[in-house]
């Protein structure tokens, strides 16, 4: 049994297989309809969602499977104090695969640890969003044929944007060259930068304004300001202006550049760009369905992946209590802290749940 909690749960070759399967499902839908007949997907959404929840439900329905779940945790037993571990054990009895979204970093890992069916991370706090990253890479490959060698600008709120975190790590794994574009205070967090340098040998260029580098970018990946996670001293409108993408800015971009956004957008991506042939964000949103179809079928074992060794992770129990207040270990007190160790030029230790570096 396999889970997808972070992209570290899949090897690059397995990801490429999922892309090939998604392309087949996208072009020959009728061939694959029925593969999940009698299977049920549980959607456990403790946080608001439109695209992720609906695309997962659409994916399962297109495979002739069924869905059950919730999008409002206040109507569930969580209000009575039910833990994530017990929710996982309970839902295991009702479904064949789980997708979970939660505001706590590391929550999907807890669900996966206590479920005996495959679990997919639909976004955990400001940690990661691996299925969005799969969709993003697939969209780039459909237009550009490859990731390797491309200059990829990741713009916006990089501190709290989980889509940006997964995307940057994925681009680096496949040989893309990263440029991080973010206002002060919202740059990519140290735990991501450390993984990029130690595991992937990449030190991205960091700038504050997209106009500084727009002419060099093959892909421009814009992220919204995560206002629900911002500290109160950050002025949203001031920082958003530093990476606003509009027609005037795009005049200096490459003719074949791609404009991407995981959506929803909130004033950082001008509507006037919707008709620009370089805009790929609605195509990106549509691609989420075949990617999630392929992922569901693969994790359920209904379409056989040639399994290869995903990146090896060295994880062990630890006495270190994570200092990240949003880490699930600081909310679900029965959890035993775990520490991940990885090596590059130096040995680095991090919380195995939320990725925050251990001081």
Which positions are annotated as active-site residues?
A: 51-52, 80, 101, 129
Q: What share of the chain is helix, strand, coil (3-state, %, to 5)?
A: 40, 20, 45
Structure-token pair, residue 112: 């996966």
Torsion region of 69: left, alpha or beta (phi above 0 gives left; psi -120 to 50 gives alpha): left
> Exposed, middle or buried by CB within 10 Å (0-12, 13-18, 19+), for 320?
middle
Provide the token pair at 238: 């001031």
Q: Are 222 and 155 in contact (CB under 8 A)?
A: yes
**φ/ψ (deg, to 5) at 309:** -75, 115
Provide the strand spans (E) within the chain.
Answer: 40-45, 66-70, 97-102, 119-124, 151-155, 177-181, 205-207, 219-222, 258-260, 314-317, 338-343, 347-351
Q: What angle do CA 320, 323, 327 make, to 5 degrees?
A: 100
Phi, psi of 147 (to 5 degrees): -100, -35
Phi, psi (degrees; rounded to nearest 5) at 152:
-115, 115
Is the Cβ–Cβ distance between 300 and 39 less than 8 Å?
Answer: yes
Instruction: Please tell me whether residue 206 adopts helix, strand or coil conformation.
Output: strand
């Amino acid at each position: 049994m396999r889970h997808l909690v972070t992209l570290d749960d899949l090897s690059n070759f397995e990801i490429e297989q999922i892309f090939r399967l998604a392309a087949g499902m996208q072009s020959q839908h009728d061939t694959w309809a029925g593969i999940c007949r009698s299977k049920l997907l549980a959607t456990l959404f403790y946080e608001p969602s439109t695209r992720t929840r609906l695309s997962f439900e659409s994916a399962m329905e297109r495979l002739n499977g069924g869905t059950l779940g919730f999008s409002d945790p206040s109507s569930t037993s969580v209000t009575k104090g039910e833990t994530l571990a017990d929710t996982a054990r309970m839902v295991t009895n009702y479904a064949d695969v789980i997708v979970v979204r939660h505001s706590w970093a590391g929550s999907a890992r807890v669900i996966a640890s206590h479920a005996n069916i495959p679990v997919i991370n639909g976004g955990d706090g400001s940690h990661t969003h691996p299925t969005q990253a799969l969709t993003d890479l697939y969209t780039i490959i459909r237009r550009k044929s490859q990731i390797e060698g491309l200059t990829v600008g990741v713009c916006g709120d990089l501190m709290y944007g989980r889509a940006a975190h997964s995307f940057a790590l994925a681009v680096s794994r496949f040989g893309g060259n990263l440029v991080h574009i973010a206002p002060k205070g919202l740059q990519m967090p140290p735990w991501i930068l450390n993984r990029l340098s130690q595991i992937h040998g990449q030190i991205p260029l960091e700038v504050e304004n997209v106009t500084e580098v727009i002419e060099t970018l093959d892909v421009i990946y814009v992220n919204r300001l995560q206002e629900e996670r911002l500290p109160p001293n950050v002025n949203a409108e001031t920082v958003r202006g530093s990476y606003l993408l509009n027609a005037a800015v795009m005049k200096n971009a490459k003719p074949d550049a791609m404009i991407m956004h995981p959506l929803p957008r909130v004033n950082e991506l001008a509507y006037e760009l919707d008709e620009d042939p370089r805009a790929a964000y609605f195509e990106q949103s549509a691609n989420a369905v075949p990617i999630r179809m392929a992922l569901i079928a693969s994790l359920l074992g209904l379409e056989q992946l040639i399994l290869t060794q995903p990146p090896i992770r060295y994880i062990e129990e630890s006495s270190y209590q994570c200092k990240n207040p949003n880490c699930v270990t600081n909310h679900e007190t029965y959890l035993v802290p775990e520490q991940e160790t990885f090596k590059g030029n130096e040995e680095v230790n991090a919380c195995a749940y939320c990725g925050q570096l251990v001081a």
